Structure 1
C-alpha cells in the first residue's frame, strides 16, 4: 500500500508550480536579501588607496577613507555590516604580532573613521594574530609549536582594543581552545558587555584560503600549515563539539568556514543548536567563480546568486562574502 501523503503521477505533476515566474517566486523555499550579507573588506594603510587583489578579481585593498565609501555604499544597498581584515606589510610583522594590540593600528583607525561617518553600519572585527605575525600563524609560536593559552591572553587584549575602537562584533578566527570564554570575560570586565561575539566555531584547515592570504600579505610568510589548530576537513561530529563549547562559553553566534564545501556542517549546526549560524564564503570560493566566469565557462552572476542561495537553503542566517555589494545590487534591480 502506498502510504505517501502525496498523489502519484499523473495526478501529481511537480512541474506545475515551476511553469511561470510568479509561481516559482510564490513557491520559493529560501530567499536572499541584502539583510543576509556581511561584506568582507580588506584594509590597507594610506589614503585614496584602491589596490586590486590579483587573485580576487573585483576585490581591492582599501585605505580607511575608501572603506568609508564602501560603508556608505553598503548602507545604501541595505547591507547591515562590514567584516574588516587588515593587510600588513612583512616589515611590520613580528614574532609576537604586537601590532594586533596597538590601539592605533589599521583596523582600529578604520573602525573609528567608519563609525564617525556611517554610525548605523555594523562592524565585525577579525580577531587573530596571523595578519601581524612574521610566521603567518594565528598564535604565538615557540619552537615550532603554537601556544594556546599564551595566545588567548593576547587575543583578549586585541578584542578589547577593537571594542574600544567601535567594533560591534568580535569574531575570533584563531581556533585556540577556550578563547571565546576568555574574550567574553575580558570584554565584560572592560565595560563592553554589549559587544557581540561571533565565533569562528567550525573553521577548517582548508585549501580555499589561498587568495585571502595573498590579500592580507600572509601567503609569503606562512611557515608550515595550520592543521594543529584548525579543523580536519574529514570531521563533522567534531564541528558540533566545537560549536557547543563556543556557545557554552558565551558566543552570541557561530560561523562555519569555508562555505560551499561545508554545507553539511551548516545544516547540522543549525539543526542541532538553533543558534544564529553564519557562514563565510571564503576567498577561494569567490575566486573560483570569478575565474570561471572570466573564462566564459559559467554565467558568473547566476553562479554567484546560486552559491549564496545554497547557504540560505542549508540553514545559514547570514553570509560573510566578498560578493555582498554585487549581489545586493542584483537583488535590488
Structure 2
C-alpha cells in the first residue's frame, strides 16, 4: 500500500466530523426532554406498582403512585403524560358503559394528577377498547360483524366532554372511526371547552406490534366476534396514500395535532404527513417497538442507551414534533445528564 497516495479533493465531508465539538456544531436533529410524552397505565387500588411482563421497566400504577410518577416525569423535563386505564374485566360490557361514568378511573386519575402537578399537560385516550368486553374500539352492530361507526362516534363525543370536564388538556381519539374528530370538536365547543385540544390518531395502522399494550390495558382481541378484525377500522400497513388522506380529513375536522402510529416502522408516513400539514405532528413509539429494543438489549445483542437514542432520533428526524414513548422519563434524564 502506498502511504504517500493523496486524493485531490475539494470536498471532504469528514472535516466536519473530526472532533466532538465540530460534530455538535453541525448536528441537524436534536432530541430534547420537551419532545416526549410519557404514556402511563393506571389501575384501581393502592397496591405497589406492577411491572408489565412484556414491557420491562413499564408499570401499572394506582392513583397515589401515578401522582408520584407524574411528579418525577415533570421534574425530568417531560411536559406531558398520556393516561390509559386498566379495568377489572368484570366491569366491562359490550357497550363499554363505564367510559361514560363520571367517576371512571381515568377521570379520577386526571383530577388527581392535575391537583398535584398542575403544570403537567395531560392527554387521555378517547376509545372504547379498555371498556368493552370484546376489546374493540367501538360498539358492535347487531350482527357483531362490524363496529357501528356512528353510534360509536356519539359515545366518543360524550366521553371527550367528560374528560375535558375532569381537567384533561388534550383529548386523543385513537379509535379510527370516520368523522369522530369533527363530532368531538363540536361536542367540546358546545359544552364550553373550546380551549381543549384534540390530538388525533390519524394514521393508526393495523400493526402486529400492539401486543404488549393490549396486555397492559387488558383489552381482548376480538373475543366473541367471529368475523371482526381491527382491520375494519385501522389502516392497512400497505397503504401510504390512505394515511395522508386520513390525516388531512382529521385536520379539516378540527384536529390540533396529527398522530402517526406506530412510529419507527412508519417513518415514511411521518415524513409524508409532515410535508402535507402545518399542524404539529406526533408519533407514537409503540409497545412492541419498545419491547423489542428492551428484549435485544437484555440478551446483550444491542446497546440499550444507544439504540434507545437512535430510535427516537430517527422519529424526530422524519418530522415528528413530539413523540409518545415509554422511554420518555429515562431518555429525558439521559439528555439532561441526570
Aligned CA RMSD, in angstroms, stands at 1.2
Q: How far apart are residue 17 of structure 1 and its match?
A: 1.0
Give 1:269-284 correspondences, 5 Å limit: 269-284=273-288
Equivalent residue number for residue 153 of structure 1: 154
Equivalent residue number for residue 46 of structure 1: 45
Give 1:96-115 correspondences, 5 Å limit: 96-115=95-114
In 2, distance between residues paired with 1:61 and 1:262? 28
In 1, distance between residues paired with 2:222 and 2:261? 22
In 2, distance between residues paired with 1:10 and 1:219? 61
In 2, distance between residues paired with 1:93 and 1:17? 59
For residue 242 of structure 1, give the secondary structure of its aligned residue in structure 2: helix
In 2, distance between residues paired with 1:215 and 1:145? 25
Equivalent residue number for residue 314 of structure 2: 310
Equivalent residue number for residue 320 of structure 1: 324
Say whether 1:201 aligns with 2:205. no
The alignment's TM-score, normalised by the length of structure 1, stands at 0.96
Decide whether the 8 Å contact of 2:102 with 2:162 is kept in 1: yes
Decide whether the 8 Å contact of 2:51 with 2:57 is kept in 1: yes
Give 1:197-276 correspondences, 5 Å limit: 197-219=198-220, 222=223, 223=225, 224-276=228-280
Decide whether the 8 Å contact of 1:134 with 1:221 is kept in 2: no
Unaligned 5+ segments in structure 1 are: 1-7
In 1, distance between residues paired with 2:191 and 2:77? 32
In 2, distance between residues paired with 1:306 and 1:135? 37
Q: How far apart are residue 10 of structure 1 and its match?
A: 1.8
Decide whether the 8 Å contact of 1:210 with 1:219 is kept in 2: no
In 2, distance between residues paired with 1:127 and 1:46? 23
Decide whether the 8 Å contact of 2:134 with 2:221 is kept in 1: no
Give 1:183-198 correspondences, 5 Å limit: 183-198=184-199
Decide whether the 8 Å contact of 1:90 with 1:221 is kept in 2: no
Say whether 1:165 aligns with 2:166. yes
- Alignment counterpart, residue 287 of structure 1, candidates 272, 291, 294: 291
In 1, distance between residues paired with 2:264 and 2:201? 16
Equivalent residue number for residue 4 of structure 1: none
For residue 231 of structure 2, give the secondary structure of its aligned residue in structure 1: coil
Decide whether the 8 Å contact of 2:133 with 2:220 is kept in 1: no
Unaligned 5+ segments in structure 2 are: 1-6
Q: How far apart are residue 49 of structure 1 and its match?
A: 3.2
In 2, distance between residues paired with 1:33 and 1:310? 13
Equivalent residue number for residue 78 of structure 1: 77
Q: How far apart are residue 9 of structure 1 and its match?
A: 6.3
Decide whether the 8 Å contact of 2:134 with 2:220 is kept in 1: no
| TM-superposition CA deviations, 1:290-315 (whole Å, max 9, x none) | 00000000001110000000111001
Moved over 2 A (4+): 219-225
In 2, distance between residues paired with 1:32 and 1:70? 22
In 2, distance between residues paired with 1:49 and 1:218? 22
Q: How far apart are residue 221 of structure 1 and its match?
A: 6.3
Q: How far apart are residue 225 of structure 1 and its match?
A: 2.7
In 2, distance between residues paired with 1:212 and 1:49? 20
In 2, distance between residues paired with 1:292 and 1:312? 23
Equivalent residue number for residue 24 of structure 1: 23
In 2, distance between residues paired with 1:288 and 1:9? 46
The alignment's TM-score, normalised by the length of structure 2, stands at 0.94
